Structure 1
Amino acid sequence: MSHDLESPYAEGVPDWDALYRARGDEVGATRPIFTGDVFTGVQLPGSTGKTKARSVVVLQHPCSMRTNGVDLAWQVLVAEVANRKELDEHGWVGGNFNLMPLPDVRPEVTSQSRHQAANFDNLYTVAPDALTSRVASLSPFGVNLLLQRWVHYSSRVVVPTHTFHEQTVAFYEEADLIEEWCDETSGDDLRAETQACLDWLRADRDGTTYQELLKNPQSHSMIRRTMRQAQKNGTRVEND
């Protein structure tokens, strides 16, 4: 079934940009930590026991890494990321099953670190306060490819990326909304603003919530428009 693995190639041409939502200076500090986020400078031991600064990618689902929607669990599952030359299409779909390639993850550099890959053989659980220097966030397609390769390596089952998308799209949109909310408020307390956005999303509205409606992509533009209007009007949960 390995031939069913997907890749960022289309008609033999790679589209590395399709893997990423943001890289380098594009990465927003207000965005909640999400599956596929890449961090640098994490002090971790290697196979010889030597501890050094390493790069990692978050593997956990956003729900499983948070107990209340805001605070991260005391440990988060990550995989080590290291330099790795970019792969051709066959290298994506027909091999390297223990890797999630991250080509052009550091487009601003010309050294070997421009192209990297996550290694599912090098797993760690890390404390949230170690995840401070985020250098990339994956796009929905990138997140789904990561999950596809991780699940395939763990089970030898190929799950289509569109199936992952059906399960992750609501959480990805929620992260987008929280980031926009926090950017707009520009408050000093990021946790408080994140909680305020979640309270707004979770507020009861005739037996449902905007958070529940996020499961339907057709509702996304309406919710985003309503949120922007609520912020413009200074509306919070208590008088929404």
Structure 2
Amino acid sequence: MNTLPVEQFRKFKNDITRFLMAYKFALDAFETKIDILTEEFQLFHDYNPIEHTKSRLKSPESILKKLYKKGLDISLPSIKANITDIAGIRITCSFIADIYRISDMLQNQSDLKIIEIEDYISHPKQNGYRSLHMLIEIPIYMSDRQENVCVEVQIRTIAMDFWASLEHKIYYKYNRTVPPTLLQELKEASDSAAALDRKMERLHNEISEVKDAQAEDWGEDLKQISISNQQFQLPEALLRLLSDRPNGV
């Protein structure tokens, strides 16, 4: 029996597995970064701007369809050079300001390279789509090498995410041939969602101002710290040391 075809197939399977594994590891590393930011916000801020995240890895079939659609060469180097959304993560936020806040934090991380930013919030798509897209390159350390892998990041509010999900379902149902009247209603729904985002953010800011004005000394609560659900009591000697320092310096 000629084993050459089998060996060729085994090599191809290993190559594509290793190729996609790098993108999976990139998602893992990026999600770890988001988890760290989430925990930091829970410890030091009044609320966490990151509501939830969702990641996905394109299947080999989806990648192949995109290559055919673009008329590109079918090879792993061609895929890496031309298909930038193999690994994707969506971050859903509470308010519009949070989107740019998270974007700034990601841009300030020295190991991330920002390849591209597309702001569909300041400049929505014609159909009403709103979101902030970032193409980010993240280093992945394998057993024998380092790879720089692209991850597509979408950051949007809950209202934007709800609208995008509905729009996707409608396009899928009508096989991308949506009646004009429905397209107009979708656009109007997008405008309503944007108005709701602005109103909820204004209310949030007003509530925060009232809360700050009513802030009190929490006494015993300030003598404790909580890390990863563990409570730590600050020693009295440390508290005395801090109180003896001028202006808490």
Give the TM-score taking structure 1 as reference length.
0.28
Give the TM-score taking structure 2 as reference length.
0.28
Bigger radius of gyration among the two: 2
